[in-house]
Structure 1
Amino acid sequence: MENIKKNISKLQQNPISVIVRTKTFQNAQKILKNTIENGFVFAEITLTIPNAFELIKETKKKYPQIMIGAGTVLNLEEAKKAVQSGANYLVSPIYNKEILKWSLKEDKLYIPGVMTINEMYNVTKNGAKIFKLYPSTFLSPQTLKLIQQPFPQFKILATGGIDLNNIESYFKAGVLAVGITGQLGGISQIVDEEEIKKLSIKYINIMKKILKERGNYHIK
């Protein structure tokens, strides 16, 4: 479990990831370049992107220090192929028992998707060290805060609907990390690289503020 623990620790120290979901390989390349080169340490490449496995391989080779995730992983075959392509961690919008069992055996970080308290409890009971709340706007920050009172062991990656307007409220609710799609990684038409740079800097500045408030300002 050393690799899983190490990767969760890195996520805690760099708790904002960009989630790239575009219709073209080229747009995904541009978003990855401009987010990573402006401070993002975690980048999730969704498997809905054309030639996603090749993009994972290419991005990991270009930025070996960056934590590259494979997103929208729906089955064990995809999970194995993503890891072979260079993915450091795996993310699903759902919970797949096969992937979780395999990931624990192979010491690979797998973040299954949940929506309800029962799902949160069950994935944690079955061995998941962290789970993805998707879509995050399904539960308000106040509700999330209340859920964690009887379940302080929950480690939550909040994604779906997180933006500059609500990101701090989710951190204040106690989530471990958040993933950004819409404003950064979900651009499917023309990618304005200057705008991506500006937005990236804004998110990284928020991250620094959050880390200082947590008392673990260790961006690497």
Structure 2
Amino acid sequence: MIQGQNFPQVTVILRGYNYESVRSVVSAMVGTKLRSVEITMNSKDAIETIKKIANEFKDEILVGAGTVLTYDQAMECIQAGVQFILSPVVLSKDILDLCKEHQVISVPGAFSPSEIWKSFVDGADIVKVFPAARLDKKYFQDIQAPLGKLPLMIVGGINGDNVQEYFDAGVSYAGIGSGIFNKQDIVNCDERALKKSIEEFETKVKWG
């Protein structure tokens, strides 16, 4: 099992794309520093896409499900072969326990210090702070002053121009959707352009 502390530094978030587009992005990611992809549940045929991508790429890229809100969705994603689950909201302890039972990394969402702390007490591996760009980077320093170093992921409004500021402030992980690729390149399955975007993004991050 990949423990939370060994989770890839940056996760690519793909929301609303079909299987062909998702596959083109994941294929372009192979061999790069982008080693984790989140396929959101509010995408068309999300479960089928997750199954196919996990079957083909799970040995090279961590494949996860995003926008997971319920226990039934979490179970469906686990059965589809995900290696991690993310949510924009606090997840129940039942869902976190389900993830542990199946050796799936759990990344519930939170915004306040109380939500963040409770998620860790309930067994979360990583906590996703969302929407992160609404918060000054100092927020993350302030949270960890009393609570200690925490495995936090920033999501929402994060891109190559601001992500390093948050890493410098003590954030461990980032989830980035539109902040890496040109949307049309994804829609067109333009793998050459996608690879170029990855190369450009990689130069903006101090990789741990």
Please tell me the TM-score bracket, short chain as reference.
0.7 to 0.9
Compute the displacement of 1:172 (Å): 0.4
Task: Work out which of the residue numbers 65, 70, 73 in structure 1 matches 2:65.
Answer: 70
* Contact 1:44–1:71 (Cα < 8 Å) also in 2: yes
SS in 2 for 1:200: helix
Compute the displacement of 1:107 (Å): 3.4
- Whole-angstrom distance in 2 between the partners of 1:151 and 1:186: 38
Task: Work out which of the residue numbers 38, 41, 47 in structure 2 matches 1:53.
Answer: 47
Compute the displacement of 1:154 (Å): 2.0
Unaligned runs of at least 5 residues, structure 1: 212-220
SS in 2 for 1:174: coil
SS in 2 for 1:150: helix
- Whole-angstrom distance in 2 between the partners of 1:9 and 1:121: 17
TM-score computed with the length of structure 1 as normaliser: 0.83
Residue by residue over 1:85-105, the C-alpha shift from the partner in whole angstroms, topping out at 9 and shown as x without a partner, is: 110011111112131132234
Compute the displacement of 1:178 (Å): 0.6
Label 1:104 to 1:185 Cα distance change in 2 as closer, same or farther (>3 A).
Answer: farther
Residue by residue over 1:12-52, the C-alpha shift from the partner in whole angstroms, topping out at 9 and shown as x without a partner, is: xx301111112433322222222335442111111112111
* Contact 1:20–1:32 (Cα < 8 Å) also in 2: no
- Whole-angstrom distance in 2 between the partners of 1:45 and 1:109: 15
Aligned residues: 204
Q: What's the % identity of the aligned pairs?
A: 25
- Whole-angstrom distance in 1 between the partners of 2:6 and 2:151: 13
1:129 equivalent to 2:140? Answer no
Runs of 4+ in 1 over 4 A off after TM superposition: none
What is the identity, as a one-letter code, of the residue corresponding to 1:94?
Answer: V
Compute the displacement of 1:183 (Å): 2.7
Task: Work out which of the residue numbers 89, 97, 100 in structure 1 matches 2:96.
Answer: 100
What is the identity, as a one-letter code, of the residue corresponding to 1:59?
Answer: I
Compute the displacement of 1:206 (Å): 4.1
SS in 1 for 2:3: helix
1:147 equivalent to 2:146? Answer no
Aligned partner of 2:78 in structure 1 is: 83
- Whole-angstrom distance in 2 between the partners of 1:44 and 1:190: 17
1:156 equivalent to 2:152? Answer yes
What is the identity, as a one-letter code, of the residue corresponding to 2:66?
Answer: G
* Contact 2:85–2:107 (Cα < 8 Å) also in 1: yes
TM-score computed with the length of structure 2 as normaliser: 0.88
Q: Which has the higher contact order (CA 8 A, sep 6+)?
A: 1
What is the identity, as a one-letter code, of the residue corresponding to 2:55?
Answer: K
Compute the displacement of 1:186 (Å): 8.3
RMSD of aligned C-alpha atoms?
Answer: 2.1
1:36 equivalent to 2:30? Answer yes
